[in-house]
Structure 1
Amino acid sequence: MEEKSLAEIQREVDRYISQFKEGYFSPLALLARMSEEVGELAREVNHTYGEKPKKVTEAENSIELELGDILFITACFANSLGIDLTEAHNKVMHKFNARDADRWTKVDTD
């Protein structure tokens, strides 16, 4: 499978959404969709690692697919607001590297 940058993912999602007259949902609707998908991810994690096994009547799903759904909705959300996810990621990593530089115990690399 080919590796894609965040920019490529955003462009691919935009090409997909652009074929429909409805376009992107509103920010509030996208937030609701994202909340739904995070709930579905939580359910899968609980089934896989938690104490709540799946019912035999429940459809097969996976953590991988739920994370993929969240990535798709994230790209939709960013695209609809004109946000570059690579730039957003870089800003967040800078924040973590500066704020949390001495917060956690570093892995010994010797």
Structure 2
Amino acid sequence: MEWTKGGRKVEKRTMNSMQKEVDDYISQFKEGYFHPLSMLARMTEEVGELAREVNHQFGEKPKKAEEKENSIEMELGDILFITMCFANSLDIQLDDAFQKVMEKYNTRDKDRWTRQES
């Protein structure tokens, strides 16, 4: 399946295909995946970098002139990558995890928020 982004066709990927792509990438290296605590630290670093970008864009803290350009999009991509690394290392399929989480939200929180009128 394809979709268009900026006038170019992009193949739609599944969560499984993205996890496999990450695994193929990591498998090139002898070191392999980091240990879970190291990955949690890495994830925390990436979330901090996202927070910094959001603060620069929407908060009161402007970027310093010497700071490199970055984007919320790239930081979210980094978080997605490390999340996939974490999941792969623990043999977790993120599409299954996502389905379970959505089932939880659709039952536990079904009456928590004010619904939009149709």
Residue identity (%): 68
Give CA deviations for 1:77-103 in whole Å, capped at 9, x if unaligned. Answer: 000000000000000000000000000
2:4 alignment counterpart: none
Normalised by the length of structure 1, the TM-score is 0.97
Query: Which ranges of structure 2 fall in alignment gaps of 5 or more residues?
Result: 1-9
Instruction: Give the aligned partner of residue 93 of structure 2.
Output: 84
* The structure with more strand, counted as a fraction of residues: 2
CA RMSD of aligned residues (A): 0.5
| 2:68 corresponds to | 59
* Counterpart for residue 114 of structure 2: 105
Q: Does 1:9 align with 2:18?
A: yes
Q: Secondary structure at the match of 1:24?
A: coil
Q: What stretches of structure 1 move > 4 A for 4+ residues in a row?
A: none
Q: Does 1:24 align with 2:37?
A: no
Structure 2 residue 42 is the aligned partner of structure 1 residue 50:
no
The Cα offsets for residues 54-90 of structure 1, whole Å up to 9 and x where unpaired, read as 0101000000000000000000000000000000000
Q: Please tell me whether residue 73 in structure 1 is matched to residue 82 in structure 2.
A: yes
1:3 Cα deviation from its structure 2 partner: 1.6
The aligned length equals 109
Structure 1: tracts of 5 or more residues without a match: none
Answer 1 or 2: higher relative contact order, Cα 8 Å, separation at least 6: 1
CA distance in 1, matches of 2:107, 2:85: 29
Distance 2:116 2:65 in 1: 42
Task: Give the Å deviation of 1:43.
Answer: 0.2
Moved more, 76-85 or 2-11: 2-11
